[in-house]
Amino acid sequence: MEKLTKNQNVLKWIDENVALVNPDKIVWIDGSKEQIEELRAEACKTGEMYKLNQDLLPECYLHRTAVNDVARVEHRTFICAETEEAAGPTNNWMDPAKAYDMLYSIAKDSYKGRTMYVIPYSMGPIGSPLSKIGVELTDSIYVVLNMAIMTRVGKAVFDALGDSDDWVRGLHCRCQIDEENRYICHFPQDNTIISVNSGYGGNVLLGKKCFALRIASNQGHNEGWMAEHMLILGVENPQGEIKYICGAFPSACGKTNLAMLIPPEGYKNKGYKVWCVGDDIAWLRKGEDGRLYAINPENGFFGVAPGTNDKSNPNALESTKQGTIFTNVVHNLDDDTVWWEGLDKNPPTNNAIDWKGNKWDGSTATEPGAHPNSRFTSPAVNCPCISSEFENPQGVPISAIVFGGRRAKLAPLVYQSKDWNHGVFVGSIMASETTAAATGAVGVVRRDPMAMLPFCGYNMADYFQHWINIGKTLDADKAPKIFNVNWFRKDDEGNFMWPGFGENLRVLDWIIDRCEGKVDAKEVEIGYIPNAEDIDIDGLDGITVDDINEMLSIDKALWLEETKGIEEFYAKFDGKIPAELTEALNTLKENSK
Ligand code: GTP
Ligand code: SPV
Ligand code: MN
């Protein structure tokens, strides 16, 4: 097959890897429809994918991963920086030379009898000054087909790269999907990623968390920009003005849902609209006008399936109706469609297969049919509310940055930081109850600064400093205002107090008013909170101003307790935490006494 580039760095690197993994043949991914179609057919022949009902779900397929391979594996993810300190105390570190040795011995000859696919891909619109290029080598058609949805792939990427050596190298080897030898390793100094013994999402779609966050956070640190685990949305008001907001929530804490939210009836009638620019990752950089601009480096959604339905997120559901790959959901054999918990109240009964590949009956099952971290991979263009700025190579100007997580008791519905640096503090003290998006216990509170704990590719103390430095380059009146939200506060019976989903626009509305200086706020121990009557509850059944007050209440004793956890976390960094943050912590401690 004809090579798609003459770039000597690329060709040399491919030759080296061919010698290592020893494939039967090499296929260059040109991005053409014909080639994608051939690969789909081949994957169906081998049983790697199932073609679903093409009338109901055109160009949609189902894939099941190995049962031991259903989420990101954080304990087997390594930042192989030159020193352990460069990786920092929140990352697993391995000496780069040792890591290469180990990985090469695992990868050796692992493509024997298999095909090497060469995927050139662009994170961000091809040719945009904010975009970056990667090449992934993989022995998985599933990876190729997912990458072709999640990123821009094909010959045009190599054309944009030309002879440049500014590209990220990614080697993925399925090997035996052996958990004991599964490693996801990053070499920031070499712009290199090596992933072995997995076939699941964030472990193997190397453009996503591995490149667009772990490697890119290093690049941003060196080059003066930011790679963040953030959604990007635009809120259009009745006058047609659009304000853009970035939101950082940990995995499975509501980014996709917020990015595609449907305004409540009353807002819709007034003429409010919400536009999705991105649902998981944002790259941010200062623009010529001094404001912070964001692009979504991705081209699709790798969304959590369970809980997605025509009430919670109709836009996401609609996005899955065409050209989608479903992973680890229920296969309804009656009509060759898919199902997951929370889709509707009618699970398939006598003729279905669960995510493990076993017969499953929704009327008697005691175990979920779809894995809690089952996913859909859908093209962004499918989304009914995709922003007209989605392909804008300059990105969109950001008015507000919103942090958030799952906190049953502590954090109020919303609060605003006092200024940029205090906002960095608010991001740095984020914590959330863990979810099924990573292997390990679910529902345990863990510190997750800026939702980047598993994704920051270097020492997090330096990362906080980088945030502070970026703030210094922005004029105070142009810097995004920084907020924190909590959709997940619970009452004493364990029910969510806030209805969430589309209703979250009511909180975004207050946030935008704050950015515009249109509404007052109350200064409290942790920052500014709304006056409860400024949260619009018109048309919200069963919620009163008193309830909002309850959701905004600050339990000082809980906050004081919280400062201990923050202190412990900061202490891991051996004095490297920026003084601005330790001072803010002292203030919070004093305020909470
Ligand atoms: P990743 O793709 O893993 O990064 O996740 P995400 O942050 O995009 O999360 P997503 O939007 O997929 O939501 C994950 C889960 O949270 C789903 O089960 C949703 O139903 C639920 N969820 C999202 N938004 C809300 C909300 O406002 N309130 C409540 N109670 N649940 C929500
Ligand atoms: C997340 O876990 O934050 C995801 C899914 O978006 S994965 O691509 O597996 O990282
Ligand atoms: Mn994510």
**Is the beta carbon of 252 within 6 A of some atom in ligand 1?**
yes
**CA-closest candidate to residue 387, choices 243, 255, 542:** 243
Q: Which atom of ligand 1 is nearest to the CA of 306?
A: 18
Q: Which atom of ligand 1 is nearest to the CA of 504?
A: 27
Q: How far is the CA of 237 from the centre of ligand 3 (A)?
A: 28
Q: Would you call 592 helix, strand, or coil by DSSP?
A: helix
Cα distances (angstroms) measured from residue 9 to each of 5, 12, 15, 168, 368: 10, 5, 10, 11, 47
Q: Would you call 166 helix, strand, or coil by DSSP?
A: coil
- Tell me the residue ranges of DSSP E strands in 111-262: 115-123, 132-138, 152-153, 167-173, 183-187, 192-196, 226-228, 231-236, 242-248
CA 428/CA 378 separation, integer angstroms? 32
Q: 228-296+390-592: which CATH architecture?
A: Alpha-Beta Complex (3.90)
**Is the beta carbon of 437 within 6 A of some atom in ligand 2?**
yes
Question: Do 228-296+390-592 and 300-382 show the same overall fold?
Answer: no
Q: Would you call 213 helix, strand, or coil by DSSP?
A: helix
Contact 363, 347 (CB under 8 A): yes
Q: Which atom of ligand 1 is nearest to the CA of 249?
A: 7
Q: Would you call 348 helix, strand, or coil by DSSP?
A: coil
CATH topology of domain 300-382: Phosphoenolpyruvate Carboxykinase; domain 2 (2.170.8)
Pick the residue whose CA is nearest to atom 18 on ligand 1.
Answer: 307
CA 306/CA 373 separation, integer angstroms? 7
**Is the beta carbon of 243 within 6 A of some atom in ligand 1?**
no
Q: Which residues of 376-394 are buried (b: 16+ CB within 10 A; e: fewer)?
A: bbbbbebbebbbebbbeee
Q: How far is the CA of 116 from the centre of ligand 1 (A)?
A: 35
Pick the residue whose CA is nearest to atom 22 on ligand 1.
Answer: 254
Contact 291, 532 (CB under 8 A): no
pLDDT reported for residue 159: 98
3-state secondary structure 472-514: HHCCCCCCCEEEEECCCCECCCCCECCCCHHHHHHHHHHHHHH
Q: How far is the CA of 452 from the centre of ligand 3 (A)?
A: 10
CA 376/CA 63 separation, integer angstroms? 10
Give the predicted TM-score (pTM) of the model.
0.98
pLDDT reported for residue 66: 97
Q: Where are the domains of the chain?
A: 8-30+72-223, 228-296+390-592, 300-382
**Is the beta carbon of 340 within 6 A of some atom in ligand 1?**
no
CA 367/CA 449 separation, integer angstroms? 33
Q: How far is the CA of 250 from the centre of ligand 1 (A)?
A: 9
Phi and psi of 500, rounded to 5°? Answer: 70, -160
Of 208, 299, 308, the residue with max ligand 2 atoms within 8 A of its CB, to mutate for a pocket test, comes to: 208
**Is the beta carbon of 496 within 6 A of some atom in ligand 1?**
yes
Residues that are catalytic: 253
Of 146, 214, 280, 452, the residue with max ligand 2 atoms within 8 A of its CB, to mutate for a pocket test, comes to: 280
Q: Is 102 exposed, middle or buried (0-12, 13-18, 19+ CB in 10 A)?
A: middle
**Is the beta carbon of 298 within 6 A of some atom in ligand 2?**
no
**Is the beta carbon of 500 within 6 A of some atom in ligand 1?**
yes
Q: Which atom of ligand 2 is nearest to the CA of 438?
A: 2
pLDDT reported for residue 350: 87
pLDDT tens, per residue, the chain with 593 residues: 789 999 999 999 999 999 999 999 999 999 999 999 999 999 999 999 999 999 999 999 999 999 999 999 999 999 999 999 999 999 999 999 999 999 999 999 999 999 999 999 999 999 999 999 999 999 999 999 999 999 999 999 999 999 999 999 999 999 999 999 999 999 999 999 999 999 999 999 999 999 999 999 999 999 999 999 999 999 999 999 999 999 999 999 999 999 999 999 999 999 999 999 999 999 999 999 999 999 999 999 999 999 999 999 999 999 999 999 999 999 999 999 999 999 999 999 989 999 999 999 999 999 999 999 999 999 999 999 999 999 999 999 999 999 999 999 999 999 999 999 999 999 999 999 999 989 998 888 999 999 999 999 999 999 999 999 999 999 999 999 999 999 999 999 999 999 999 999 999 999 999 999 999 999 999 999 999 999 999 999 999 999 999 999 999 999 999 999 999 999 999 999 999 999 999 999 999 99
pLDDT reported for residue 174: 98
Q: What is the DSSP letter of 396?
A: E
Beta strand 481-485 with 359-360 is unpaired
CATH topology of domain 8-30+72-223: Phosphoenolpyruvate Carboxykinase; domain 1 (3.40.449)
Q: How far is the CA of 28 from the centre of ligand 3 (A)?
A: 28
Q: Which residues surround ligand 3, an ion (CB under 5 A)?
A: 251, 280
Q: How far is the CA of 253 from the centre of ligand 3 (A)?
A: 9
